[in-house]
Amino acid sequence: MTLHRFASLCAGSAFFLLIAGAMVTSTGSGLAVPDWPLSYGQVFPPMKGGVFFEHGHRVIAFFVALMTGILVFWVWARESHRWVRTLAAAAAAGILLQALLGGLTVLYGLPKAVSIAHACLGQTVFCLLVAIAHATSSPPDAPSRPSEGPASLGRLWIAGAAAVALLFVQLVLGASLRHTGKGLIPHLLGAVAVSAAVAWTAYEAYSSDGARPGLLRPAAVLLLLLPVQFLLGLAALTVRSHRVAALSWPTALTAAHLACGAALLAFAVLWTLNAAQRGPGRETA
């Protein structure tokens, strides 16, 4: 359980890092520090104005990277299951690439494609850490026993995978809208598609034989977060032209919209993993 708790802490820290990154974009502080990896040639510059958000984001990213590195070594030392090790390796690679993209966004003056990739990769790493925390939450040798037939299991997994895919596409569209100011209509259409996918997962969770907490609880959270995300999105649209390098209602709303989207994606990942684990036991190395 200690490994699971540390993995959960890593995932929670990555979620906080996403919020910090959203604050950098929302306050327009992306170039408040013009150099990288140092800040004005210093390890810890005066934390004033946009520097507070940009350098603060870097500091949090450093600790998340350090924690992820520890987690990766821990997983490889303790976990015998190949797929869990693969998740850890992917998280490590994602953290390294994320740091590189973060540096490029600064050194090349916030190129839109790199900034969007940086935002999307951050969400990906967060989901990988969520998956690792989930994978280490139960005894590794406890086999899963399906309560439905193969067709039902396949339907459950497909519903979850569709929700994850559409939510990720929606996050890409949202990142593009935030960094380019274009693509509002596709983002709104994506919201409709995501709503349908979440409704599908909830229907499958509550209508399948032998309803289980592993599906019901994530489905309930998804249904709860979805209207909140709609309201935050509408609020963010109304204030998106108000960017100040300080904590304010406009910046907090846009950051909250991103955070809620990340939470939706994470719970969809958990739902899908729970659905997939109704099949045979995990593959071991």
Q: Which residues, given as ranges, of the chain have pLDDT below 70?
A: 1, 138-153, 208-211, 240-247, 278-285
DSSP three-state, residue 109: coil
pLDDT at 152: 52
pLDDT at 85: 95
Tokens standing for residue 226:
């979805």
Longest dimension (CA), the chain: 61
- Distance separating alpha carbons of residues 163 and 171, to the nearest angstrom: 12
pLDDT at 251: 83
Burial class (CB in 10 A: 0-12, 13-18, 19+), 49: middle
Residues 6 or more apart in contact with residue 39 via CB below 8 angstroms: 33, 45, 51, 54, 55, 58
Q: Left (φ > 0), alpha (ψ -120 to 50) or beta: where does 249 sit?
A: alpha
pLDDT at 280: 39
Reduce the secondary structure of 19-82 to three states and give it as a string: HHHHHHHHCCCCCCCCCCCCECCECCCCCCCHHHHHHHHHHHHHHHHHHHHHHHHHHHHHCCEH
Dihedral sign from CA coordinates of 272, 273, 277, 283:
positive
How many other C-beta atoms are found inside a 10 Å radius of the C-beta of residue 73? 12
pLDDT digits (tens, 9 = 90+) for 194-232: 999 999 999 988 886 555 778 899 999 999 999 999 999
pLDDT at 230: 94
- Residue boundaries of the structural domains of the chain: 1-139, 146-285
**pTM of the shown model:** 0.88
Length of the chain: 285
pLDDT at 37: 85
